[in-house]
Amino acid sequence: MSQPAIDERLLEGLNPRQREAVLYRGPSLLIVAGAGSGKTSVLTRRIASLLASGEASPLQILAITFTNKAANEMRERVQHLVGRATDGMWISTFHSACVRILRRQAEVMGMKAGFTIYDSADSRALIKRIVKELDADTLNLTPGIVAGKISKQKNELVDVETYARNLNTDDPAEVAFLEIYRRYTAGLRRANALDFDDLIAETVHLFRAFPEVAALYQRRFRHVLVDEYQDTNHAQYALIRELTRPIKPQHVPDDTRTLTAPDGSLPGASLTVVGDSDQSIYAFRGADIRNIVEFERDYPNTKTVLLEQNYRSTQNILDAANAVISNNFDRLEKNLFTTVGAGHPIIGYTGYSGHDEAQFVADEISALHSAGTPYREIAVFYRTNSQTRPLEDVFIRSGLPYKIIGGTKFYERAEIKDVMAYLIQVANPADDLALRRILNTPKRGIGPATEAALQAHADKMGVALRDALGDAAQLELGPKVTRAILDLGELLDEAEAQHLAGGKAADILLTLLSGSGYLEALRATRDPQDEARIENVEELLSVTKEFAKNNPDAGLLEFLTEVALVAAADEIDDDSGSISLMTLHTAKGLEYDAVFLTGVEEDLLPHRISSGEPGGLAEERRLFYVGITRAKKRLFLSLSMQRSSFGDTSVAMPSRYLQEIPAGLIDWRQSPGDATSRGGTRPRALNARGYAGGPARGFSYSTELPPAPPRVKREWASEITGKVRDNGDLTLAEGDRIRHTDFGDGRVVAVTGVGTKSIAEVQFDTAGKKRLLIKIAPIEKL
DNA sequence: ATGTTGATACTTTTT
DNA sequence: GTATCAACAT
Q: What is the DSSP string of A536-557?
A: HHHHHHHHHHHHHHH-TT--HH
Poorest-pLDDT segment among A294-308, A345-359, A534-548, A696-710:
A696-710
Which pLDDT score, from 0 to 100, does residue A713 have?
25
What are the residues with a C-beta under 7 Å from any atom of nucleic chain B? A 67, 93-95, 119-120, 142, 144, 196-197, 284-285, 383-386, 406, 440, 443-450, 481, 565, 567-569, 583, 585-586, 607, 609-610, 613, 646-647
Nucleotide with minimal C1' distance from the CA of A446 is: B1
Q: Any binding-site annotation on A40?
A: yes
Side chain identity, residue A708: A
Over residues A583-609, the mean pLDDT reads 93
Poorest-pLDDT segment among A215-219, A286-290, A299-303, A648-652:
A648-652
Closest residue (CA) to C1' of nucleotide B9 is A646
Which pLDDT score, from 0 to 100, does residue A257 have?
52
Over residues A245-267, the mean pLDDT reads 69
What's the rounded Cα separation, in Å, for the pair A233 and A369?
41
pLDDT at A53 over 90: no
What's the rounded Cα separation, in Å, for the pair A248 and A227?
28
CB-based contacts of A134: which residues, under 8 Å, 6+ apart?
A176, A179, A180, A183
Pairing of strands A61-65, A223-226: parallel
The DSSP secondary structure of A25-69, one letter per residue, reads -SSEEEEEE-TTS-HHHHHHHHHHHHHHTTS--GGGEEEEESSHH
Whether any strand C atom is under 7 angstroms from the Cβ of A448: the reply reads: no
Our CA dihedral for A246, A252, A258, A259, rounded to 10 degrees, sits at 80
pLDDT tier, A722 (very low <50, low <70, confident <90, very high otherwise): very low
Side chain identity, residue A443: K
Closest residue (CA) to C1' of nucleotide B12 is A384
With residue A93 as reference, give the H or E element that holds it. strand A90-93
Nearest to A741 by CA among A724, A721, A758, A760: A721
Over residues A188-211, the mean pLDDT reads 95
Q: Any binding-site annotation on A2?
A: no
Strand C, nucleotides < 7 Å from a protein CB: these are: 1, 5
Q: What is the mean pLDDT of chain A?
A: 85
Q: What is the pLDDT of residues A413-448, one digit of tens each?
A: 888 999 999 999 999 999 999 999 999 888 888 888
In Å, how far are A35, A575, A584, A647 from A30, measured between CA atoms? 15, 34, 26, 48
pLDDT at A676 over 70: no
Q: Report whether A568 contacts A406 (CB < 8 A).
A: yes
Out of A148-152, A199-203, A436-440, the most confident range is A199-203
Q: What is the pLDDT of residues A93-125, one digit of tens each?
A: 999 999 999 999 999 999 999 999 998 888 988
Which pLDDT score, from 0 to 100, does residue A728 have?
66
Which pLDDT score, from 0 to 100, does residue A726 have?
63
Residue predicted with more confidence, A155 or A726: A155
pLDDT at A261 over 90: no
Nucleotide with minimal C1' distance from the CA of A644 is: C1
pLDDT tier, A674 (very low <50, low <70, confident <90, very high otherwise): very low
pLDDT at A692 over 90: no
pLDDT tier, A2 (very low <50, low <70, confident <90, very high otherwise): very low
Catalytic residues of A: 39-40, 227-228, 279, 630
Closest residue (CA) to C1' of nucleotide B13 is A585
Poorest-pLDDT segment among A203-217, A235-249, A718-732:
A718-732
Handedness of CA A460, A465, A469, A472 (dihedral sign): positive
Question: Over pLDDT 70: what percentage of chain A?
Answer: 89
Q: Any binding-site annotation on A430?
A: no
CA angle, A216 as apex, A212 and A218 as ends, to 5°?
A: 105
Which pLDDT score, from 0 to 100, does residue A683 have?
42
- pTM comes to 0.85
Q: What is the pLDDT of residues A312-357, one digit of tens each?
A: 999 999 999 999 999 998 787 788 889 888 999 999 999 888 888 9
**Helix count and strand count (H, E) for chain A:** 31, 22
pLDDT at A539 over 50: yes
Q: Residue A720, class by beta-carbon neighbours within 10 Å (0-12 exposed, 13-18 middle, 19+ buried)?
A: middle
pLDDT tier, A258 (very low <50, low <70, confident <90, very high otherwise): low
User: How many other CB atoms are found less than 10 A from the CB of residue A308?
Assistant: 14
In Å, how far are A244, A317, A347, A349, A686 from A668, measured between CA atoms? 52, 15, 6, 6, 8
Strand B, nucleotides < 7 Å from a protein CB: these are: 1-3, 10-15
Handedness of CA A238, A242, A246, A249 (dihedral sign): positive
Q: Report whether A384 contacts A656 (CB < 8 A).
A: no
Whether any strand C atom is under 7 angstroms from the Cβ of A735: the reply reads: no
Strand partners, A596: A380, A636
Which pLDDT score, from 0 to 100, does residue A725 have?
56
Question: CA at A643, C1' at C1: how many angstroms apart?
Answer: 14
Q: Any binding-site annotation on A757?
A: no
